Amino acid sequence: MEKKRCNFSLGSTQYQLSEKFLLYHDTRWCKPLHDDQELYAMLVLEGMQAGVSWNLILNKEENFRKAFDGFDPRLVAAYDEAKVEELMQDKGIIRNRNKIRSAISNARAFLKVQEEFGSFDAYIWSFTGGQVIDHHLKDIQDMPVKDELSEKVSKDLKKRGFKFVGPIIIYSYLQGIGVINDHWEYCDYR
């Protein structure tokens, strides 16, 4: 018997969702994540996704991982303008200078948060007291694009120097790292 997925995962008339997207939905989306390097990776990927489809980002994820040194924030924080220019020539990633520079400045801000809180994990999960927010959605119409939590996290991240962290991107980020569980009630991957 085939498992049920959230209805947005079943495809669209605009584009066919990739196997990578389906795997992401089934194994990573809305699953609690506590590894700092992966928390940074998701922050970069979510920022890169602004204005393009998540399907595209997932199809380029391995290229991003290679181009950004496995998303090691210590390495990315040390990137200079020569590295920005190198990344601008990499056809395997989103070549947007502002997004690339934000990945670098966000790595620096990320390291400061780690220093202050002991880990980025401790920081990001502190907004919910370590608890997953489960919205028990019935359908896509029930899913907000942002909420009070994403507004609060976005505001705090911006205050700390992060870029490409508006409340809509942060809502998606919080889903991606499992702070928010927006799998539909009928989804077998909850």
Is 54 an annotated catalytic residue?
yes
Which residues on adjacent β-strands are paired with residue 180? 133
Identify the active-site residue in 2, 19, 40, 54.
54
pLDDT tens-digit map of 5-24: 887 655 444 456 788 999 99
pTM comes to 0.94
What is residue 164's predicted lDDT score, i.e. its pLDDT? 94
Query: In this structure, is residue 139 part of a structural domain?
Result: yes
pLDDT band at residue 141 using 50, 70 and 90 as cut-offs:
confident
Query: In this structure, is residue 67 part of a structural domain?
Result: yes
Q: Tell me the residue range of the domain where 58 lies.
A: 32-181
Query: In this structure, is residue 107 part of a structural domain?
Result: yes
Is 24 an annotated catalytic residue?
yes
- Percent of the chain exceeding pLDDT 70 equals 95
Distance CA 175, CA 166 (A): 14
pLDDT above 80 for 96: yes
Number of domains in the chain: 1
Quote the strand ranges of 28-115, DSSP E.
Answer: none
What is residue 1's predicted lDDT score, i.e. its pLDDT? 80
Instruction: For residue 93, give the CATH number of its domain.
Output: 1.10.340.30
- Do the Cβ atoms of 124 and 153 come closer than 8 Å? yes
Q: Could you tell me the two tokens for 25? A: 């939905």
Query: In this structure, is residue 187 part of a structural domain?
Result: no
Identify the active-site residue in 40, 46, 123, 171.
46
Distance CA 108, CA 86 (A): 19
pLDDT tens-digit map of 34-70: 999 999 999 999 999 999 999 999 999 999 999 999 9
Query: In this structure, is residue 11 part of a structural domain?
Result: no
Q: Give the residue among 179, 183, 182, 188 at the shortest CA–CA distance from 43.
A: 179
Query: In this structure, is residue 159 part of a structural domain?
Result: yes
Query: In this structure, is residue 13 part of a structural domain?
Result: no
pLDDT tens-digit map of 108-127: 999 999 999 999 999 999 99
pLDDT tens-digit map of 155-176: 999 999 999 999 999 999 999 9
pLDDT band at residue 133 using 50, 70 and 90 as cut-offs:
very high
Identify the active-site residue in 2, 15, 19, 24.
24
Non-local (6+) Cβ contacts of 105 within 8 A are: 161, 162, 163
Query: In this structure, is residue 16 part of a structural domain?
Result: no
159 phi and psi angles, rounded to 5 deg: -60, -30
What is residue 128's predicted lDDT score, i.e. its pLDDT? 98
Q: Could you tell me the two tokens for 103? A: 């990945």
